[in-house]
Amino acid sequence: MKETKLLTERVGKYDPLDLKGYEASGGLEGLNQALAMEAEEVVEQVRRSGLTGRGGAGFPTGSKWESAAKHGPGPKYLICNADEGELGTFKDRVLLDGDPWAILEGILIGAYATGAEQAYIYIKGEYEDTFGLWEKLIEKARDAGLLGANILGSEFSLQLSVAKGRGLYIAGEEFALIASLETRRAMSRLKPPYPTEQGLFGRPTVVNNVETIANVPFILAKGWREYRRFGLEDDPGTRMFSLSGDVKRPGVYEIETGSGTLRGLIDEFGGGTREGGAIKAVQPGGGTSAFLDETSLDCTLSAEGIRKAGSSIGTAAVIVYEQPKSAVGMVKKLLEYYGNESCGRCAPCRLGIKRMQEIIERVNSGRADVDDTARLREIGRAAIRASTCGMGQVFPLPVLSALELFGQDFEAAVNKGPA
């Protein structure tokens, strides 16, 4: 297996505040190409590139842009979602810190294509330094004529504001993120309408993940055909995998879609498990993705490959659990994290997470009753089937998959009795 550095090539190669350095390594070519085209052509380029969202939901980026672009006069917004909160995910930070001008370039292209004149980048609160960097970067960009009125002498104008996340996982969900920027509680909402129809302040809004946006300059600079030479036909490009958990070499690895397996990623890039033991389980798409056990690790590294294996690619955050961990402990840790992160909107999610957390605590401490696994399944079904957003629909997946794959761990804990 090898890395394909479509997005990460420049990372660390230039001083992040040095626009010249960025330009010297081929930066801004995509923007220049875009500004020479009509906005619709830019949208078309992205649409034909087959780029899909890298924030978890995997929606086609071109369609999103097209939907926002078709709305007539009046304000529109573009939001770069840099609030990566999914457990095990730290890929966006690599780009934000290591090649920020490419993100800015992607934002500019996206705003130009969709007709947005105000953009926001919403950065995870814990990334204090990243936030500081971006505040400075925006000033530099303004001085260089890359932000403000008539960008690079064109008719196109854009303001970019940087907002700091305030410690909520759910603010990464697109509606919650929009609500946050509207100074509301970070809550999801019913859809339709989608953000591209009624988003920020009720106006058409594109919300794109950092990694998604990072693909855009390449597509514009080299053309969609060139982009599609990478990766799979129906899932082109690369994926930045955040590898963490019980591996020797955690880190971010950029891999062409479909060009390797989960096991290859863990063994070849991650150097195998930390203690050299057998793999107990893997979450391939972040902390809310279903567990895969050792038998499923030969799946292809693509959205489809991982789906077929029984989980989802999500944010491509691969979390590895080594034997002899108990699934109960694994699930308990996850729920400790997610237990406070529902937006509070859908009853089965808001209450379900908490109750699940309590039940797992009980199981873990040997105080569970015979009905508790049934309770977990009931909550899981209600939350998955009846919640509105990606949070409620997925948080039970690790729990349910653990029950499925590692039922004996739960039985053992229940039977053990209190310590």
Q: In terms of Cα–Cα distance, which of 56, 111, 61, 64 is closest to 224? A: 61
Among 345, 368, 390, 401, binds other proteins (CB under 8 A): 345
163 binds other proteins (CB under 8 A): yes
Among 74, 153, 183, 415, binds other proteins (CB under 8 A): 183
348 binds other proteins (CB under 8 A): yes
201 binds other proteins (CB under 8 A): yes
Helices (H), 87-209: 91-98, 100-114, 128-143, 174-181
Q: How far apart are CA 203 and CA 199, in angstroms?
A: 5
57 binds other proteins (CB under 8 A): no
Q: Cβ 113 to other proteins, closest distance in Å? A: 21
Q: How far apart are CA 335 and CA 332, in angstroms?
A: 5
For helices 100-114 and 39-49, angle between their N-to-C axes, nearest 10 degrees: 120
Q: Which residue has the tokens 């056990």?
A: 293
DSSP count for the chain of H helices, then E strands:
18, 11
- Size, binding site for other proteins by CB under 8 A: 47
378 binds other proteins (CB under 8 A): yes
Asked if residue 405 lies in contact with residue 281, where contact means CB atoms within 8 angstroms, the answer is yes
From 85-93, 251-259, 330-338, 341-349, give the range in contact with other proteins by CB under 8 A: 341-349
118 binds other proteins (CB under 8 A): yes
Asked if residue 330 lies in contact with residue 399, where contact means CB atoms within 8 angstroms, the answer is no
Chain centroid to Cα 30, Å, comes to 23
Three-state DSSP class for 201? helix
Q: Cβ 127 to other proteins, closest distance in Å? A: 12
212 or 393, CB closer to other proteins?
393
From 48-56, 146-154, 161-169, 398-406, give the range in contact with other proteins by CB under 8 A: 161-169
Q: In terms of Cα–Cα distance, which of 56, 36, 82, 319 is closest to 181? A: 82
164 binds other proteins (CB under 8 A): yes
161 binds other proteins (CB under 8 A): yes
167 binds other proteins (CB under 8 A): yes
Q: How far apart are CA 260 and CA 270, in angstroms?
A: 13
Among 2, 229, 308, 385, binds other proteins (CB under 8 A): 385
208 binds other proteins (CB under 8 A): no
Among 2, 13, 136, 185, binds other proteins (CB under 8 A): 185
User: What one-letter code names the amino acid at 185?
Assistant: R
307 binds other proteins (CB under 8 A): no
Q: How far apart are CA 2 and CA 319, in angstroms?
A: 20
379 binds other proteins (CB under 8 A): yes
The site for other proteins (CB under 8 A) is made up of 118, 125, 161-168, 171, 180-187, 189-190, 201, 339-348, 350-352, 354-355, 358, 375, 378-379, 381-382, 385-388
